[in-house]
Copies of this chain bind each other. A is one copy, B any other.
């Protein structure tokens, strides 16, 4: 909670639950990433929070943009990014969306199979493609499935196919898992990447780039490594695996860029028990369907503060909808002040990323999460 956010909430007193993002924190995050990894270009993952004010700030600071859809490409362009600063990073694209991106001047695309290469060869001829490889997400709070990427052995064929299809076989990407707290997690994927570079080089195809993805943790409840530590470990791994043929690198921070810049203000609607002497249930005006989707399986545990002091007691924390799955913390109840009352405000930190856009359009008739960027 920054002073700017506190002052905004005090002066504006917005009705209903809302996210407030402090652009000064986003600016500091950008500068920290740039310092920690001076040899990498930064591609902000727009999906984390596409608020126009955030995109404009980052465009002005020199950021590039990782976009998941044509709509996100248009948002990045509207914020002042030029097409050469945009990567269409979704490996799952309709061919007409590839054509739309191509028409807007976008020249870099993610792939993870030959069928996707074929779409790009037809609809964005001459483009650069990078192939995403599978990577195990050990150490991440939000481990990735096998949804994106292929086995490294197959990536060689995919990039070879791209080359033979008239595209620029440009590099390799991977993602070590969101909210990754182990800086050494990048090492194994970098070893696989270097092997792909070498194999294709024997075939006369010189890859140029490694996309290190995202996964840079924001601060929730537990201490996380500083950006400088990520940079150090990653550079060590790159030198170890690539020797003196250091590739271009890019990073795609999303949560790490905006997560700690945002605070959600919420109101306690009800405090109750199911039976005498039973655990307390605390119901908020925000839940899984209007901003806190990432509490799914209690994966992410946000820091929550209130103006109440005194002893705390474990509570089950739930959202306002008539949906029984709209419960944030139940398996591991959340300690909240005993003195907490209906009508109190709570502040949920670390919520600048993956909250507003996940919000349901009208579930139970409730509006999506309001957002203020200051």
Contacts and interface: CB of A to CB of B under 8 A. Distances in A.
Interface of A: 45-47, 50, 67-72, 75, 89-95, 112-113, 115-116, 119, 134, 142-151, 153-154, 267, 269-276, 278, 281, 283, 285, 289, 293, 296, 318, 320-327, 330, 342-343, 356-368
Contacts of A270: 91-93, 113, 115-116
A146 B366 contact: no
B357 A357 contact: no
Contacts of A92: 269-270, 283, 318, 320
A345 B185 CA distance: 39
A153 B273 CA distance: 12
Contact of A150 (B95, B274, B364): B274
A278 B112 CA distance: 14
Copies per complex of this chain: 2
Contact of A153 (B93, B275, B320, B342): B275
A165 to B, nearest CB: 16
A366 B69 contact: yes
B360 A361 contact: yes
Q: Most chain-B Cβ atoms within 10 A of its Cβ — which of A276, A318, A321, A362?
A: A362
Contacts of A45: 322
Contacts of A363: 47, 357-358
A361 B90 CA distance: 19
| Among A149, A322, A357, residue most surrounded by chain B Cβ atoms (within 10 Å) | A322
A343 to B, nearest CB: 8
A271 B153 CA distance: 19
B94 A134 contact: no
Given A115-B271, A274-B146, A89 B322 contact: yes
Given A116-B272, A276-B154, A357 B368 contact: no
A104 to B, nearest CB: 14
Contact of A318 (B71, B147, B154): B147
Nearest to A283: B92
A145 B298 CA distance: 15
B357 A147 contact: no
19 contacts: A45-B322, A47-B321, A47-B323, A47-B364, A67-B365, A68-B365, A70-B365, A90-B320, A90-B322, A92-B318, A94-B267, A112-B272, A115-B270, A144-B324, A147-B281, A150-B275, A154-B273, A154-B276, A357-B363
Nearest to A113: B272
Nearest to A254: B322
Given A148-B322, A275-B151, A327-B147, A360 B360 contact: yes
A100 to B, nearest CB: 12
Contact of A364 (B72, B91, B269): B72
Contacts of A69: 364-366
